[in-house]
Amino acid sequence: MRLKWLFFVFSLSVLIYGGVVAQPPSYQAAMEQLNSRGELYFVFRQPSWNTLEKLAGSVSIDNISNGWVTGWANRKGFTQFLEYNIPYQVVPLKSFQKDDGTTKSFTSLDSIDQWNFYPSYNDYIAIMNAFQSAFPGLCRLYEIGLSINGKKILAVKISDHVGADEPEPTCFLTSSMHGDELTGYVMMLNLIDTLLNGYGKNPLITALINNTAIFINPLANPDGAYYVSDLSVAGAIRGNNNHIDLNRNFPDPADGDHPDGNNWQPENIAMMTFLQQNNFLLSANFHGGAEVVNYPWDTWPRLHPDDDWFYFISRCYADTVHFYAGGSYLTNLDNGITNGYQWYRITGGRQDYVTFFLHGREVTIELSTNKIPSALSLPQYFNFNFHSLLNFIDQCRYGIYGLVSDSISGTPLRAKIFISNHDADSSFIYSNDSGWYYRMIKAGTYNLSFTSSGYQSKTITGINVADFNRIRYDVLLVRDVVPLQQDTVPVLSAGPVPFGSYLMFTIKALEDMTAEVSIYSSNGKKALGACWQVSPGVSNYHLNTADLPPGMYICRVISDNRVLMIKAAKVSD
């Protein structure tokens, strides 16, 4: 979570005069909050950056503003914080939890005329199942995993052929990994409902569902949201049931696998597995406590190579919100957007994990200053963000895309796509298992290099990209020439190279076997072929190539489950 507290919010708790905290730290109040909730929010004067770095493993920094730091800690972290003898003041829960968690019973999707309530846990499960039951052709329910207490972490996939693995870009929206930040929880339920009911009616919704695979996880930390009772979110906490901040518990590009000093939590292990399995192109992680779009990096002061693109899509999101909500909402920091590190540094966040380790593109969107706003205000937050959400999903369709495949067989290839003089810090991407790649990027001219193990690399230069447009480049990669090895390859020799009216193959066999030879032209079309039954011993086989016109050819020999590729020129006799 990124929680932007201006210090006047705490005016009832902290008295500032001449830069001095007038009342002593409330240790008793801190212990009461830790004993009842297992975690604590507090505010303290900003120490040196060196001290903040040391505190990072104990305290989750929520915000630094006007010389004050707002932090969160569990019991262990707070004990470590006390060793620094830094004056602090406890933040009262009522300052950021505005709803008492009142729910209304769920009977059917048709009975929901407004998403102006926080569902109970069991009703949440029923609602997610109801989406799949009501729209089986568009919606599929996934169980990402289980929380510590055995609660389900669910996601839906929305697509026009939801049961198929189509070659289309994928977008993932996920909310409330901090259990007490619940604006996005209900907003995602509302979005699922709106997408499914809008298909075939709303042109943009229809286009998105027809051309993208949209995954939505409304609640990533159910134990935190339903900490006190499954019946209500009243008393929700930030951490999971182990009181671990899940957004400090991911592998970090700068600080390693366990930047918070804790084992990966079950919720995060399940989420990492789901993320790795689905290769999401674009994702957003929804939080609360501020109103701003945050983009990478969080852990490094240097900018992401696609910083101009991240700024562009973040600016688009915030500006669209401003159009529909007016000028007072989502205006924190740079009028509603910020680079993460320039706000304050965190390590172990999901945003940097996805962007660095998975080569994805993720932003963090803080939806409301109040982490649990009044349920009656939830439809308003949805209306403010709805068009921005659709446009955000639409961004994954823009940029450079295409299919990478074997130049002879047409087999799809997983290839690395690297932009020269641009990519760094793991910003390159890979084509997926179906050979398709999608490279979102800011308008400009780029050179793309394609590499795949066992193939010759290929570079396409001068690709011009415009904003809100996409351009297709399919790429055929040629196999590397495999050197002949007498002790391992049944084909001992093939020649002459260059060749004329014939090619001769010397094949050694230890037992009866089949050798298949195919000749392909430079455009990948098969020009000639033969199949021989080979007896044990060394044998010579001739292939008549007299009718082949001069040019470059690729010869492929398959024998004894081995493949030999030879690139050679045909010359005039």
Packing angle of the helix pair 378-394, 183-198 (nearest 10 deg): 60
CATH number, span 7-95:
3.30.70
pLDDT score for 13 = 37
pLDDT score for 8 = 35
pLDDT score for 562 = 67
Topology annotation, domain 399-477 = Immunoglobulin-like (2.60.40)
Locate 171 and state its tokens: 């977008």
CATH number, span 109-397:
3.40.630.10
pLDDT score for 482 = 55
| CB-CB contact of 287 with 181 (8 Å) | yes
Burial bucket for residue 33 (CB in 10 Å: 0-12, 13-18, 19+): buried
Classified as helix, coil or strand, 240 is coil
Locate 534 and state its tokens: 């080979």
Q: How many CB atoms lie within 10 A of CB 198?
A: 16
Every domain range in the chain assigned CATH 2.60.40.2550: 491-570
- The whole-model pTM stands at 0.82
pLDDT score for 21 = 40
| CB-CB contact of 86 with 44 (8 Å) | yes
CATH 2.60.40.2550 fits 491-570, yes or no: yes
pLDDT score for 560 = 61
pLDDT score for 534 = 83
Every domain range in the chain assigned CATH 2.60.40.1120: 399-477
Tell me the C-alpha to C-alpha distance, in Å, between residue 50 and each of 25, 46, 47, 256, 344.
Answer: 23, 11, 8, 19, 13
Query: 10-residue block means of pLDDT along the chain (573 residues)?
Result: 40 36 66 92 89 86 82 93 92 69 81 94 98 98 98 99 93 98 98 98 98 99 97 95 97 96 97 96 97 97 98 99 94 96 94 98 97 96 99 98 93 96 97 96 98 95 97 94 50 78 82 83 81 84 88 79 75 74
**Residue 366 annotated in active site:** yes
**Residues forming a β-bridge with 292:** 366
> Which contacts of 162-168 are long-range, i.e. CB under 8 A and separated by 24 or more positions?
162/137, 162/138, 165/434, 166/213, 167/403, 167/432, 167/434, 167/435, 167/436, 168/211, 168/212, 168/213
- Tell me the residue type at 119: P
For 166-232, strand residue ranges (E) read 170-175, 213-217
Every domain range in the chain assigned CATH 3.30.70: 7-95
**Residues forming a β-bridge with 470:** 399
pLDDT score for 313 = 99
List 53, 83, 366, 511, catalytic entry? 366
Q: How many CB atoms lie within 10 A of CB 499?
A: 21
pLDDT score for 233 = 95
- In DSSP notation, 478-507 reads PBPPPPP-TTT-SEEEEE-SSBSSEEEEEE
